[in-house]
């Protein structure tokens, strides 16, 4: 594939020696949907502003479509940005808002009308072309902002948390619409968000940022199933992080001691020796809760536990369990099973947790959490 964006050793430092972006290098392919994901202060919005030209890097280069644009102003870059607040003119109709940039560029009226209609058709808003922004729903206003951004046919569309102001149900619907729009347009989308579910739903690739650096870059499945660090494991989804010590290595497995619990985990490519400190990661949905006397799956690790509390999550029941660690062990039960047997045992009941070695990820103890 063709590289549309190349970031080379990019850095941006703000007053007080705040390193918002710290030596980042990243290639993005033409037509990719890439999400920059991380908590507040990780550098994701600064990266977007650097690509757009709203900020200038202190070091490094920005290559867009084969051209060095590091020092170019925003209007000389083949990108458009959709902001959080949409920035629509309240006194202009939908069509006038969408065509505003073309009018500023001096495009003939007939061509503007044609392109406005095409852009509104792309976002299913042609019937609202004469409406004012105040007459639209939040989702419709968001689509107007998208139409205005794509009408000039940018090579790259930058999305600065565009769904953050929408309610949960509408936000989920717009995630699907954005994904479909990306497929129809075939251009590169770069989304900034702190919402890991949003990133997993829409992206071809997710770039997780931590303190201005790339913690991991990969497909949603790669990040979820093979996180590079405890930080990624706990940010992409939820993980139980348990400190442990390596007892032995045998046959591609690691035997570890976590308090009073002895567990086995797949070694993978991890290089450790007996006595090394490690950190275990277990996803809540990849563990099973068993009543006393219930047969355990073959080869599973078994941890004695006590039920602390049930938390209803709609499509699942989250169980907090005491396994003798400072933090509760979290375990997710699908509702079809949460309505029978041990899942209804009262808090304080003794149970066992079963987890296969393949579902225990091991990190070196020094890995960032």
With H, G, I as helix, E, B as strand and everything else as coil, classify residue 247. Answer: strand
Q: Which two tokens stand for residue 236?
A: 């992409």
| 156-181: pLDDT as tens digits | 999 999 888 788 888 888 899 899 99
- Mean confidence (pLDDT) of the chain: 91
What integer pLDDT is reported at residue 16 of this predicted model? 82
Neighbours of 66 (CB within 10 A): 9
- HSE-CB at 259 with a 13 A cutoff on CA atoms is 13
Q: Which CATH architecture has domain 3-234?
A: 3-Layer(aba) Sandwich (3.40)
| 101-144: pLDDT as tens digits | 899 889 999 999 999 999 999 888 999 999 999 999 888 998 99
| 237-293: pLDDT as tens digits | 899 999 999 999 988 899 999 999 999 998 877 888 899 999 999 999 999 999 877
Q: How far apart are CA 119 and CA 216, in angstroms?
A: 35
Helices (H), the chain: 44-52, 94-104, 109-122, 138-150, 168-185, 196-202, 220-225, 230-235, 335-338
Q: How far apart are CA 6 and CA 4, in angstroms?
A: 7
Residue 357 pLDDT grade (very low, low, confident, very high; cuts 50, 70, 90): very high
What integer pLDDT is reported at residue 337 of this predicted model? 52
Q: Which of 252, 232, 255, 256 is nearest to 242 (CA)?
A: 256
Q: How far apart are CA 102 and CA 109, in angstroms?
A: 9
What integer pLDDT is reported at residue 199 of this predicted model? 95
Q: Which two tokens stand for residue 8?
A: 């080379």
| 321-351: pLDDT as tens digits | 999 999 999 999 877 654 544 446 789 999 9
User: 165 near 85, Cβ under 8 Å?
Assistant: yes
| 43-66: pLDDT as tens digits | 999 999 999 999 999 999 999 999
pLDDT for 152 beyond 80: yes
Residue 309: burial class (beta carbons within 10 Å; 0-12, 13-18, 19+) = exposed
Q: What is the pTM of this model?
A: 0.90
- Domains of the chain by residue range: 3-234, 238-364
What integer pLDDT is reported at residue 171 of this predicted model? 87
CA distances from residue 285 to 309, 319, 346 in whole angstroms, order as listed: 16, 10, 20
Q: Which of 109, 102, 248, 123 is nearest to 185 (CA)?
A: 123
Domain boundaries 238-364, CATH class: mainly beta
With H, G, I as helix, E, B as strand and everything else as coil, classify residue 255. Answer: strand
Q: Which of 178, 105, 193, 176 is nearest to 145 (CA)?
A: 178
């Amino acid at each position: 594939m063709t590289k549309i964006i190349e970031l080379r050793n990019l850095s941006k430092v703000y007053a007080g020696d705040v390193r918002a972006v710290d030596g980042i290098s990243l290639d993005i392919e033409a037509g990719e949907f890439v999400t920059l994901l991380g908590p507040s202060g990780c550098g994701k919005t600064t990266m977007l502003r650097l690509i757009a030209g709203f900020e200038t890097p202190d070091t490094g280069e920005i290559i867009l479509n084969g051209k060095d644009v590091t020092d170019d102003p925003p209007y000389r870059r083949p990108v458009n940005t959709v902001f959080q607040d949409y920035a629509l003119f309240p006194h202009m109709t939908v069509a006038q808002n969408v065509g505003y940039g073309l009018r500023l560029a001096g495009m003939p009226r007939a061509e503007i009308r044609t392109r406005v209609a095409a852009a509104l058709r792309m976002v299913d808003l042609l019937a609202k072309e004469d409406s004012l922004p105040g007459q639209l729903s939040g989702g419709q206003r968001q689509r107007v902002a998208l139409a205005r951004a794509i009408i000039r046919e940018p090579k790259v569309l930058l999305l600065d948390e565009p769904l953050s102001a929408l309610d949960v149900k509408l936000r989920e619907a717009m995630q699907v619409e954005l994904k479909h729009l990306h497929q129809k347009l075939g251009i590169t989308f770069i989304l900034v968000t702190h919402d890991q579910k949003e990133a997993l739903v829409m992206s071809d690739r997710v770039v997780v940022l931590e303190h201005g650096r790339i913690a991991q870059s990969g497909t949603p499945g790669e990040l979820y199933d093979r996180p590079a660090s405890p930080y990624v494991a706990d940010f992409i989804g939820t993980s139980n992080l348990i400190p442990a010590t390596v007892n032995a290595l045998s046959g591609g497995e690691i035997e570890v001691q976590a308090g009073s619990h002895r567990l086995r985990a797949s070694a993978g490519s991890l290089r450790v020796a007996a006595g090394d400190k490690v950190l275990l990661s277990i996803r809540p949905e990849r563990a099973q809760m068993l009543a006393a006397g219930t047969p355990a799956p073959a080869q599973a690790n078994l941890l004695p536990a006590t039920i602390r509390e049930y938390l209803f999550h709609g499509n699942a029941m989250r169980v907090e369990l005491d396994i003798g660690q400072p933090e509760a062990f979290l375990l997710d039960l699908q509702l079809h099973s949460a309505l029978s047997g041990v899942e209804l045992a009262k808090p304080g009941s003794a149970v066992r947790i079963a987890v296969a070695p393949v579902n225990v990820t091991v990190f070196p103890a020094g890995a960032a959490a």
